[in-house]
Structure 1
């Protein structure tokens, strides 16, 4: 009897109907071309948004660096920092520019030229002790070894400004364009600073 009632109960109990799977569960780029196109459109819009944000951040950082570090510039892997020109009394025909150049690349580089509207001629020079006398010589280039920093300073390597077209007084600024061996150019705005005369070596110029 118990078996009969159980069997009847099973026949009378409503069967649970299988729930249909949501349509989105069956969609994939393979079986739904419109869905795939929609995904590609969203992906493209996202990439464009990210690209625009990256550009905005880059511009903001560049502006911040320009405001915070006026004496720093960059040229094709060469970082130029603490660049300035030496102040000279009125009537003094020559001056010099100093800076540090860091070659952050993997290839050796060289500074080969200079140009400025503040001087008729711009040359690369160095001081060297010869026969007990400090002498200043022109050099064809200033080597910038890969991964190293080269300092242009009083008493050593420097950019010579010959035939000044105006007086360089403290607080002034001059424009100097440097040329490198790969053909790249970098224009700097140099502040004019007073230098302690004792830091400038007595020399003969040949």
Structure 2
């Protein structure tokens, strides 16, 4: 019986370790991750597969912070003719019943400004997300090699 309990506990721990969704109120934060930064790079990039607002009231992502960088900026990428432009935005709207992607290669991402050290595959850190209505929420971030080509910073 004790062996079964230990086995089930181990399975529960393993399932928890691979969980990538986090709930804060009506918001579901899906798979926070960052990509490796080149040696000597001052900045890094972090992403979320998305944020789903399962509620009936809009919310807004206002910003984020972490101990591995001096600050985090919310960035938006848009095509301006044939040129990709990136700019800091004051927030990201989270409409009710919708999902907003902050994935690598998509419209939005987190710019980690003035890293303490370059990010390497396997590194882990916490990032605190700040929402207008849902408040602050800490998520664990793992540095992973991206599957698609990165737009570069």
When normalised by structure 1's length, the TM-score is 0.63
Find the structure with the greater CA-based Rg: 1
Query: Is 1:173–1:191's contact at 8 Å kept on the other side of the alignment?
Result: yes
How far apart are the structure 2 equivalents of 1:202 and 1:89?
A: 10
Partner residue of 1:106?
56
What are the within-5 Å matches in structure 2 for residues 91-170 of structure 1?
91-99=40-48, 100-155=50-105, 156-170=107-121
Q: Does 1:84 align with 2:13?
A: no
Q: Let me know the Cα RMSD of the aligned residues.
A: 2.2
Query: Is 2:26–2:54's contact at 8 Å kept on the other side of the alignment?
Result: yes
- Kindly provide the CA deviation profile for residues 29-87 of structure 1, in whole angstroms up to 9, marking residues without a partner as x: xxxxxxxxxxxxxxxxxxxxxxxxxxxxxxx9xx7697154322111211111110111
SS in 2 for 1:93: coil
- Kindly provide the CA deviation profile for residues 105-152 of structure 1, in whole angstroms up to 9, marking residues without a partner as x: 100111001000111010100111114210111111111110111110
How far apart are the structure 2 equivalents of 1:123 and 1:180?
A: 14
Higher relative CO (Cα under 8 Å, sequence separation at least 6) belongs to 2
How far apart are the structure 2 equivalents of 1:177 and 1:131?
A: 35
Structure 1 residue ranges without an equivalent (≥5): 1-59
Q: Structure 1 residue 195: deviation in Å? A: 2.2
Name the CA shift for 1:83/1:183 in 2 (closer, same or farther; >3 Å): closer
Query: Is 1:134–1:201's contact at 8 Å kept on the other side of the alignment?
Result: no
Which residue, out of 167, 191, 194, partners 2:142? 191
SS in 1 for 2:104: coil
How far apart are the structure 2 equivalents of 1:193 and 1:73?
A: 18
Name the CA shift for 1:158/1:64 in 2 (closer, same or farther; >3 Å): same
SS in 2 for 1:199: coil
- More strand per residue: 1 or 2? 2
When normalised by structure 2's length, the TM-score is 0.83
